[in-house]
A and B are shown apart, each in its own frame.
Chain A
Amino acid sequence: MSNHSTGAVAAPAGRNYLNHPKGIMTWLITLDHKRIGVMYLFTVLLFFAVGGFFALGIRLELMKLGREILDANTYNRFFTYHGAIMVFLVIIPAIPAAMGNFVLPILLGAKDVAFPRLNLASYYIFIIGATFAVLSLFLRGADGGWTFYTPYSIRTNTTVILVLFGAFIAGFSSILTGLNFIVTIHKLRAPGLTWARLPLFCWAIYATSIIQVLATPVLAITLLLLCMERILHIGIFDPALGGDPVLFQHFFWFYSHPAVYIMILPAMGIISEVIPVFSRKPIFGYKAIAYSSFGIALIAFIVWGHHMFVSGQSELANFVFSLLTMFVAVPTGVKVFSWVATMYKGSIHYYAPMLYALGFLELFTIGGLTGVFLATLAIDVHLTNTYFVVAHFHYVMVGGTIMGMMAGLHYWFPKITGKMYSEKAATIAFWLILIGFNLTFFPQFILGAQGMPRRYWSYLPEFTDLNRLSSVGSWFIALGFLYVAYYVWDAMKHGKNAVANPWGGLTLEWQTSSPPPTENFLETPVVTAWPYEYLPENITMPVNQG
């Protein structure tokens, strides 16, 4: 069945990367990409819980107009931390740094990333950045939203500077990880793993890494300028000092728009892996999917102005940015159509990874289509800065990235932990999250179209019903994720041992033991075929045979 010739499947005497060497210190100074990936994963999930806590606070406050549980200033801090933590400490590192670190070298048949020490350094740089951001929580907090628009962010008396500095530092981690991955993909592919045989997850990570390396420095310098303006009162963005507040928006979105694709492309990579495996079919349009990642990455750099249609930017600039933005929809559409076409005449197995991939398709389609509304100039003028935008980017970021992350988490769970999770529990949690998500965010499209602005602590009476519906939905999401935390913990304690290849996948990570040995493969694998070569008879999975 396998298209790869690998030396040995099992490591001697149950030795694997998790249990050898032992001791907490061996983890903290490890150079093993798998352990670093796992440490990232823990960190990211911890911050996901913190960001989720703030989200629940926001929704609780919005249960009724006026004060429910938070005063306005506390509420403003809540949505700022929710956004900043979720973007900078969860969604950006979640798939590339956490899962990419674990899976990418194995997918390539490599022993590790190209620069293991740099990889560990990236992790600690990330931790230092996160520490600064979290430190501000215990001082005067931060408000202004995760976008930190000037001149508010210069004048607010909150400790916003710590969050900015934290994001500045974490940015270096992102740059170094991107650099590491690019070199790894170029230099450490196994014999026979040609570019045309490269798994789509690797293509997606490659495109992502390019954006990380090229765009993040712009954010770094922008945040640094903002810090300097706050401390030294140099007039760059504050008109009171002779600066231009709109300039900040240009700088900010020059990074933060490409960053949107740092968040979504890796998730798309996971979906491209999961759908063929669980449909037992070759991926449809391999080249188109691979190229479209680069198409998206390229366009990502020239559409930042679509965040600024009402900022005071010129009509000509708006014309150009709206036109260019339309073209993002084309490669994105190519991917979505290709995934659905992959399912056609397949033999589809419904396990948690596939459920999340299908959930991704549903939510991302809505997220993508509502993006067309916002790309359209006149339509955006009414919808921008309302809940329509909030709903849109949650459909893309949560419905896309987080669903993709959950798909990957379940897909690679046997490989990472060597255990099987409970499929029944995972199915229940999936439905809780999917239903809860739609309940939370779909009403926000209507709220936004009706005119409710975002970042509002209170609202007009006519917005009450939909806000309550949205708040109730958030409890379903919370319940779903709490349940995930429980069964993941339970699986690690009591789960049955995973076989090397429970899903019958053809990519290289399934050709080594679960969990893999420290060196990934006991002998260097040799790749002899395309990784999506599922033949018509190959419709079963090991997992449903035992």
Chain B
Amino acid sequence: MFSIFNAAHAASTVPMAATDIAVQWDSLYSFIVWLSIFFFVLVVGGMVYFMFKYRHRPGQKTVYFRDSHLLEGIWIGVPTALLMIIFVWGYSVYHSMKQAPSDSYEIHVIGKQWLWTFQYENGRTTVGEVFVPINKPVKLIMTSDDVLHGFFIPNFRIKQDVVPGMYTSIWFMATVPGKHQVFCTEYCGTSHSGMLAQVVVLDDDQWEAWNNNKKLGNIPKAGVEISAADHVADLINDEYSVQPKTSQTSMFSPDSRGSRASSDSEQFKDGILISAASPMKSQFSLVEQGRVVHESKGCVACHTVDGTVKVGPSHKGMFGSRIELTNGKFALADENFIKNHIENPKSETVKGYAQVMPTFKGLISETEMNALIAYMKSLK
């Protein structure tokens, strides 16, 4: 027989709050919960009271009335006012969720059936675990290699669909060290429920150690006390390329008939860019990897990096600028703009230049694209 009430987790209806925004979220959530309880008691309590009080008895008389504009006014006006409060509150918390601080540490995320790959500024790539510093804003710039995925961190109360062909992003500033669960929340095929990951929040020392490729001790689940034995045992290896390991192994035994959508496999490139399935650390930073892509894919033939103009506009200072297009509109040169321009150059052309750029669709992998974007961001 199973127990319902002895488990502590059943008692609390929300997970741990591990960011300041999660704390704000909890306040609003509690407010709506209590308001809902009030209205539930009002409506269903009233109903149950009437059920007993006015049950049919012989000889009874009902009271004839058809409406009351006062009552109707009240139950239109009061809920409307309360709903507006909830709306404004909800929007303001949401707005903070969406506004990543400009000094955020950026990590590129690629979702692919059924694993998560993370690329860092220092050139490293990890799978299944993303390492982030505590108390510093972190922005995840995400795309998908195949179908829709969703990146959901319950402890941070944030979630964002990961869409093929475009970049979406979320940001957070974790306040609790340790591992935080990540779920995929858009159905993506056979092993959708196995497409898990962990956000590993490192304290300042661990973060420095990780950046210097040093070994880290065993990092526990967030909120769990570490025993001394755990400290000694189980040092994770230098690669940090742990496949999402877990006790519920059954979740990771996808059926052999798995319906995985096909996608191009990543190529090895000068020993720098690597397959998403076999991550490794790199001695080259993401920006340096991007420079190699910029040269090897032939971008440099038309686009300089020093501000001089060749066939196309220079990439120096391009990222983040407002660009006028031939159709008279302006576009912000963000991640989506660059990706779209590389894959669908005919869709929009920068004013003053001829439409001669060929498409690179299918010629640049998602990991290469991330490196290229990081490189273009560095060309200030």
Chain A residues proximal to chain B, CB less than 8 Å: 65-67, 71-73, 76, 143-145, 149-152, 155-158, 239-240, 242, 244-246, 279-288, 310-312, 315, 318-319, 322-323, 326-327, 329-330, 333-334, 336-338, 340-341, 343-350, 358, 361-362, 365-366, 369-370, 372-373, 375-382, 384-386, 445-446, 449-451, 453-462, 464-466, 468-469, 532, 534-540
Docked-complex contact B97 and A358, CB < 8 angstroms:
no
* Nearest CB of chain A from residue B68's CB, rounded to whole Å: 8
Q: Are A366 and B40 in contact (CB under 8 A)?
A: yes
Cβ of B68: which chain A residues have Cβ within 8 Å of it? 284
- Does B46 lie at the interface of the complex (its beta carbon under 8 Å from any beta carbon of A)? yes
Q: Are the CB atoms of B258 and A349 closer together than 8 Å?
A: no
Residues of chain A within 8 A (CB-CB) of B93 are 377-378
For this complex, 19 residue pairs linking A to B, each with C-beta atoms less than 8 Å apart, are: A65-B251, A149-B187, A245-B148, A282-B64, A282-B66, A322-B87, A329-B83, A330-B83, A337-B75, A345-B63, A348-B55, A372-B83, A377-B90, A382-B154, A450-B154, A456-B193, A462-B9, A469-B2, A532-B66
Q: Can you name 8 extra interface pairs (CB under 8 A) apart from A158-B259, A327-B83, A334-B76?
A: A322-B90, A330-B76, A343-B54, A358-B47, A379-B32, A449-B14, A455-B193, A534-B62
Known contacts A244-B165, A450-B154: A287-B181 contact under CB 8 Å: no
Contact of B189 with A by CB under 8 A: yes
Nearest-CB distance from A101 to chain B (Å)?
30
CB-CB under 8 A from A157, the residues of chain B are 259
Does the CB pair A381–B97 fall under 8 Å? yes
User: In the bound complex, what is the Cα–Cα distance between A240 and B57 (angstroms)?
Assistant: 70
Among B155-163, B202-210, B324-332, the stretch that binds chain A is: B155-163
- Residues of chain B within 8 A of A469, CB atoms compared: 2, 4
**Complex interface residues of chain B between 80 and 95 (CB less than 8 A to chain A):** 80, 83-84, 86-87, 89-95
Chain B residues with CB under 8 A of A373:
29, 32, 36
CB distance from A398 to the nearest CB of B (A): 17
Contact A145 B187 (CB under 8 A): yes
Please determine whether A242 and B14 come into contact, CB atoms closer than 8 angstroms.
no
Q: A residues within 8 A CB of B251?
A: 65-66, 458-459
- Choose one: A318, A333, A386, A536; the contact of B75 (CB below 8 Å): A333
Q: Which of chain A's residues have a CB closer than 8 A to the CB of B61?
A: 347, 536-537, 539
Report the separation of the CA atoms of residues A413 and B47 in the bound assembly, to the nearest whole angstrom: 26
B residues in contact with A329, CB < 8 Å? 79, 83
Instruction: Looking at the assembled complex, report how far the CB atom of A299 sits from the nearest CB atom of chain B, in whole angstroms.
Output: 13
Considering the chains assembled together, what is the distance between the CA atoms of A150 and B191 in angstroms?
17
In contact, B54 and A72 (Cβ under 8 angstroms):
no
Interface size class of B (residues with CB under 8 A): 35 or more
Contact yes or no, A384 B159, CB < 8 A:
yes
Using A65-B250, A72-B193, A539-B60 as known contacts, say yes or no to A343 and B50 having CB atoms under 8 A apart: yes
Q: Given A329-B79, A329-B83, A286–B67 Cβ distance below 8 Å?
A: yes
Q: Once the chains are docked, how many angstroms separate the CA of A151 from the CA of B187?
A: 11
Find out whether the CB atom of B259 lies under 8 angstroms from the CB atom of A143: yes
In the complex, whether B137 has a CB less than 8 A from a CB of chain A is no
Expressed in whole angstroms, the minimum distance between the Cβ of A170 and any Cβ of chain B is 23
Chain A residue contacts of B148, Cβ below 8 A? 149-152, 245
Residue of A nearest to B251 (CB): A458
CB distance from B134 to the nearest CB of A (A): 21
Residues of B within 8 A of A284 (CB): 65-68
The interface residues of chain B, by DSSP majority, are classed as: mixed
Closest to A155 in B: B261
Within 8 Å CB of B98, what residues of A?
315
Most buried by B among A347, A350, A469: A347
Contacting residues, chain B, for A362 (C-beta < 8 A): 44, 47
User: CB within 8 A of B95: which of A283, A315, A358, A369?
Assistant: A315
- Contact partner of B28 (CB less than 8 A), chosen from A76, A143, A343, A378, is A378
Decide: A460 and B47 in contact? CB cutoff 8 A.
no
A359 to B365, CA, bound (A): 55
Does B226 lie at the interface of the complex (its beta carbon under 8 Å from any beta carbon of A)?
Answer: no
Return chain A residues, CB-CB under 8 Å to B213. Answer: none
A338 to B71, CA, bound (A): 9
B44 touches A365 (CB 8 A): yes
Q: Which residues of B contact A370 (CB under 8 A)?
A: 36
> Is B190 among interface residues, defined by CB-CB distance under 8 A?
yes
- Docked CA distance A288–B76 (Å): 10
CB distance from B241 to the nearest CB of A (A): 22
Interface string of B156-192 (1 = CB under 8 A from A): 0111110111101000000000000101111111111
Please determine whether A347 and B54 come into contact, CB atoms closer than 8 angstroms. Answer: yes
Q: Among the listed B32, B64, B67, B164, which residue makes an inter-chain contact with A240, where contact means beta carbons less than 8 Å apart?
A: B164
Q: Which of B39, B58, B152 contacts A385 (CB 8 A)?
A: B152
Residues of A within 8 A of B154 (CB): 382, 450-451
Which chain B residues lie closer than 8 Å to A322 at the CB level? Answer: 87, 90-91
Considering the chains assembled together, what is the distance between the CA atoms of A333 and B39 in angstroms?
10
Q: In the complex, A534 Cα to B66 Cα: how many Å?
A: 10
* Closest chain A residue to B246, Cβ basis: A460
Assembled-state Cα–Cα distance A143/B190 (Å): 9
In the bound complex, do residue B32 and residue A372 qualify as a contact, i.e. CB atoms below 8 Å apart? yes
What A residues does B255 contact at CB under 8 A? 71-73
Residues of B within 8 A of A76 (CB): 187, 189-190, 192
A117–B2 Cα gap in the complex (Å)?
A: 57
A458 near B248 with CB under 8 A, answer yes
Is B227 interfacial (CB-CB < 8 Å)? no
Q: Closest CB-CB distance, B58 to chain A, in whole Å?
A: 8
Residues of chain A lying within 8 A (CB to CB) of residue B189: 76, 143, 152, 156
Q: Is B72 an interface residue (CB 8 A)?
A: yes
- A366, B191: Cα distance in complex, Å: 33
Interface assignment of B212: CB less than 8 Å from any CB of chain A:
no
Q: Do A347 and B57 have beta carbons less than 8 Å apart?
A: yes
CA gap between A15 and B287 in the complex, in Å: 86
Q: Residue B102 at the A interface, CB < 8 A?
A: no
Q: Which residues of A contact B152 (CB under 8 A)?
A: 385-386, 451, 453
Task: Tell me the smallest distance from the CB of A42 to a CB of chain B, in Å.
Answer: 33
Contacts of A288 in B (CB 8 A): 67, 72
Q: Give A293 to B67 CA distance when docked, in angstroms.
A: 17
Kindly list chain A residues whose C-beta atoms are within 8 Å of the C-beta of B75.
Answer: 333-334, 337
Cβ-defined contact, B158 with A319, below 8 A: no
- Whether A466 touches B94, Cβ cut-off 8 Å, given contacts A382-B159, A386-B185, A460-B248, is no
Give the shortest distance, in Å, between A158 (CB) and chain B (any CB).
7
| A155 pairs with B185, CB closer than 8 A | no
Could you say which of A283, A334, A376, A384 has the most chain B C-beta atoms within 10 Å of its C-beta?
Answer: A376
Shortest CB–CB separation between residue B45 and chain A, in angstroms? Answer: 10
Q: Which of A151, A326, A532 has a CB less than 8 Å from the CB of B147? A: A151
Given contacts A242-B344, A539-B62, contact A378 B86 (CB under 8 A): no
Known: A310-B161, A348-B54, A370-B36. A144 touches B187 (CB 8 A): yes
Instruction: Return B141 CB to nearest CB of chain A, in Å.
Output: 12
Q: How far is the CB of B361 from chain A (nearest CB, A)?
A: 8
In the complex the two chains form, is B67's CB within 8 Å of A376's CB? Answer: no
Q: Are A451 and B183 in contact (CB under 8 A)?
A: yes
Q: Which residues of A contact B185 (CB under 8 A)?
A: 384-386, 453-454
8 closest cross-chain pairs (CB), A and B: A239-B165, A66-B250, A451-B154, A376-B90, A378-B93, A456-B193, A377-B94, A385-B185
* Complex Cα spacing A329 to B39, Å: 12
Chain A residues contacting B150 (CB-CB under 8 Å) are 310, 385, 453
Whether A451 lies near B181 (C-beta < 8 A) is yes
Q: Is B265 at the interface (CB under 8 A from chain A)?
A: no
Q: Are A382 and B157 in contact (CB under 8 A)?
A: yes
Shortest Cβ distance from A362 into B: residue:
B44
A287 to B67, CA, bound (A): 9
B15 at the interface (CB under 8 A from A): yes
Q: Are A282 and B261 in contact (CB under 8 A)?
A: no
Q: Are the CB atoms of B166 and A239 closer together than 8 Å?
A: yes
B15 and A348: CB pair below 8 A? Answer: no
Contact A466 B15 (CB under 8 A): no
Closest A residue to B196 using CB positions: A460
B254 in contact (CB, < 8 A): yes
| A465 and B2 within 8 A (CB) | yes
Q: Which of A246, A280, A366, A378 contacts B94 (CB 8 A)?
A: A378
